Amino acid sequence: MDARTQLPDEKWLFTQIAEGDESAFRKVFHFYMPSFHPMIVQVTKSGSVAEDIIQETFLRLWIHRDKLQEIRNPRAWLLRIAYLQAFTYLRDQTIHLKAVARLAATETNTDDTELFMAFRNTEALVKKAVDELPKQQKTVYRLSRESGYKTGQIAREMGLSEQSVKNTLVRALKSIREYLKKAGHTLLLLFFMIHRY
């Protein structure tokens, strides 16, 4: 599909979404997903990451649907959100890889090697734990820990109160702790993983 293809009756559909019409939302999502996906894959070099970014983009569309009436070009607005998230992902990956490289550089003996391997294993488990969180907890956790957003920023982004964001983050961290406890990992490593940003 040509990336420039416009959805017929786009403005009317976005007006319907602004009024809470889920069928209009699904129609817009299914129309734009096939054209957005390859563009975001070009940036992230990952199909699964691109899917996550596009889903997050449309989640933001739904959360901020009350503002759609003010947007002159909804498709361009959506694509801008997707690209911004893709570049944020690349920035976070760069920060993360530098941290891993610093840790790897400290490998001077068997103990350091074991610590590094434990770090990598725990990191993978945290990612799995986050993937299994309910949607709102996952979004709050990622905005807080992966994108570095403050509570107030998350509240504005998601249309929630700051207290609701705090409570959601507490529940997310508790779920992650429980997940790692079941996997037999130490709380010290968990603390390091959760607070690394």
Q: What is the pLDDT of residues 100-149, one digit of tens each?
A: 555 555 544 444 455 455 556 666 777 888 888 999 999 998 888 777 78
- Taking CA atoms, 156 is separated from 8, 38, 56, 85, 114, in Å, by 31, 30, 16, 17, 42
Q: Is residue 100 part of a domain?
A: no
- 191: tokens are 């603390």
Of 40, 64, 89, the residue at which a domain comes to its end is 89
Same domain, 78 and 115: no
Same domain, 80 and 115: no
92 burial type by CB count under 10 A (0-12 exposed, 13-18 middle, 19+ buried): middle
Same domain, 81 and 129: no
* 137: CATH: 1.10.10.10
Same domain, 195 and 126: yes
Same domain, 52 and 2: yes
Same domain, 159 and 123: yes
Q: What is the pLDDT of residues 150-174, one digit of tens each?
A: 888 899 989 989 888 888 988 888 8
Poorest-pLDDT segment among 47-51, 55-59, 77-81, 180-184: 180-184
Same domain, 56 and 136: no
SS3 content of the chain, % helix, strand, coil (to 5): 80, 0, 20
Domain with 196, as residue range(s), is 106-197
Q: What local confidence, expressed as pLDDT, does residue 119 receive?
A: 54
Q: Is residue 99 part of a domain?
A: no
64, 22 contact by CB (below 8 A):
no
188 burial type by CB count under 10 A (0-12 exposed, 13-18 middle, 19+ buried): exposed
* 19: CATH: 1.10.1740.10
What is the torsional sign of CA 44, 50, 52, 58? Answer: positive
As for how many domains the chain has, the answer is: 2
- Taking CA atoms, 111 is separated from 121, 123, 196, in Å, by 15, 18, 21
Q: What is the pLDDT of residues 74-99, one digit of tens each?
A: 788 888 888 888 888 777 776 556 55
Q: Is residue 98 part of a domain?
A: no
